[in-house]
Amino acid sequence: MGLSKLEIMELFLVEGFDHARSLAECLNRMEGHPTDEILEEIHVHAHTIKGAAAMVGFMNTSHVARFIDRVVLEIIEKKLPFDDEAHGFLQEAIPIVNRFIRNITLGELNEAIILKDIASKYDRIISKAETSHA
């Protein structure tokens, strides 16, 4: 017998909070100088949130987690430098994922403006990675 929609949602919230908290802890440990280990941890947590949020229909949360996942992967693969812009992006995007997950429990899902702003920053950063390897 499978899980009900409510049980899946509750599971997402518990795991989502844990992964979001871990993302914030990674960001704090990084202090502007990422190690490969910290970048890998951020990648795993963001990737997990991306998939889980999409599975339960929280697409804005999934999109921001995807942005984090992709930027970190580009840094890991040395296609993108870890510069002030990338660091600033992570400092902004990781708290947004935390806020979006928290807002799910509060019923506050007015995310469109926040998503538009972080998406434009993501596009600018990723375009640097794509042009450097074109």
Q: What is the pLDDT of residues 58-67, one digit of tens each?
A: 899 999 999 9
Q: Residue 116 and residue 128: Cα distance in Å, rounded?
A: 19
Q: What is the pTM of this model?
A: 0.83
Domain count, the chain: 1
H-run or E-run covering 73 = helix 59-76
Is 43's pLDDT higher than 90?
Answer: yes
Q: Residue 13 and residue 33: Cα distance in Å, rounded?
A: 30
Is 18's pLDDT higher than 70?
Answer: yes
Is 24's pLDDT higher than 60?
Answer: yes
Contact 115, 63 (CB under 8 A): yes
Contact 88, 11 (CB under 8 A): no
**Domain ranges, residue 119:** 5-132
CA–CA distance from 28 to each of 25, 86, 108, 109, 125 (Å)?
5, 15, 26, 26, 21
The dihedrals phi and psi of 39, each to the nearest 5 degrees, come to: -60, -40
Mean per-residue pLDDT, 118-128 = 90
pLDDT at 53: 93
The CATH number linked to 51 is 1.20.120.160
Instruction: Show the tokens assigned to 42.
Output: 């951020």
